[in-house]
Amino acid sequence: MGAANCMKKRKDQSRRHERPGARAWLGALACLLIGRASVRAQEKDTVWEFFSQEVVAASQEIESLHEAPVITSVITGEQIKKMGARTLNEVLLTIPGFSRIQDHNEYFSALRGVYGSSQQKILVLRDGHRLNSRSYSSANFGPSIGLHNIKRIEVMRGPGATLYGDVATAGVINIVTKDGREVNGSELNVGAGDYGQIKLDYLYGRDLGEGRDLTLFGSIYRTTGEKKGVPASRDGGAAPRDGFTTLDRFGELNAPHDVGIKYRSGETSLMVNHRLEQYTMPRSGAGGTGQLVDPAEFRKFEGVGLGASFDTWHSELKYAPTVFDDVKLTIRPYYDTMTTLGGEAQRRQGEAGTAPGYAKGFTVKWHEASYGAEVSAAKPYDLAWGQGTALGGVQAEQMDMQYSWNIHSPDATHADYYIGTPEILPPGHERSLALFSQVKHRFNPKWLANVGARYDYKWRIRNYYVEQISPRAALVYTPLERVSVRASYGRSFADAPYWYRYNQLGGGGYTGSADLKPEKLNSYQLSVEIERPQALSNRLNLFYNDYESVIYRDALGNYQNSGVVKFRGIEYEIGWEGTALMARANATYQRALNSSTGYSVSGGRLEDVPSIMGNALIDYAPLKATASGPSWSRGLWLHYAVRYVGRQYSPITTTAATSGTRDSDYSVPAAVLSNAGFSLENFWRALTVRFHVYNLFDQQYTQGGSVAIPYEQPGRWWLAQVSCKW
Of 3-12, 264-273, 317-326, 433-442, the range with the lowest mean pLDDT is 3-12
pLDDT digits (tens, 9 = 90+) for 444-475: 999 999 999 999 999 999 888 999 999 999 99
Residue 96 and residue 156: Cα distance in Å, rounded? Answer: 11
Residue 113 and residue 569: Cα distance in Å, rounded? Answer: 10
Residue 661 and residue 651: Cα distance in Å, rounded? Answer: 11
Q: What type of residue is 476? A: V
Residue 237 and residue 349: Cα distance in Å, rounded? Answer: 13
Other CB atoms within a 10 A radius of the CB of residue 628 amount to 6
Q: Which pLDDT score is estimated for 287?
A: 64
Q: Between 158 and 531, where is the model more confident?
A: 158
Q: Between 358 and 150, where is the model more confident?
A: 150
Q: Which pLDDT score is estimated for 288?
A: 63
Mean local confidence (pLDDT), 492-515: 83
Percent of the chain with pLDDT over 70: 89
Q: Which pLDDT score is estimated for 453?
A: 98
Of 269-278, 576-585, 623-632, 708-717, the range with the lowest mean pLDDT is 623-632
Q: Which pLDDT score is estimated for 507?
A: 54
- In-domain check, residue 673: yes
Residue 615 and residue 10: Cα distance in Å, rounded? Answer: 28
Q: How confident is the model at residue 47 (pLDDT cuts 50, 70, 90)?
A: very low
Q: Which pLDDT score is estimated for 189?
A: 98
pLDDT mean across residues, the chain: 87
- In-domain check, residue 2: no
- In-domain check, residue 321: no
Mean local confidence (pLDDT), 254-264: 96
Q: How confident is the model at residue 67 (pLDDT cuts 50, 70, 90)?
A: very high
Q: What type of residue is 391? A: L
Q: Given a cut of 50, is residue 253 above it in pLDDT?
A: yes
Mean local confidence (pLDDT), 144-165: 96
Q: Domain containing 105 — which CATH number?
A: 2.40.170.20
- In-domain check, residue 14: no
Mean local confidence (pLDDT), 603-620: 92
Q: How confident is the model at residue 443 (pLDDT cuts 50, 70, 90)?
A: very high
Q: How many domains does the chain have?
A: 1
- In-domain check, residue 354: yes
Q: Which residues pair with 404 in a beta bridge?
A: 366
- In-domain check, residue 16: no
Q: Which pLDDT score is estimated for 16?
A: 36
**Can you give the residue range of the structural domain that contains 457?**
23-32+39-312+331-375+398-725
Q: Given a cut of 50, is residue 547 above it in pLDDT?
A: yes
- In-domain check, residue 12: no
How does DSSP classify residue 626? -
Mean local confidence (pLDDT), 525-541: 86
Its pTM stands at 0.91
- In-domain check, residue 238: yes
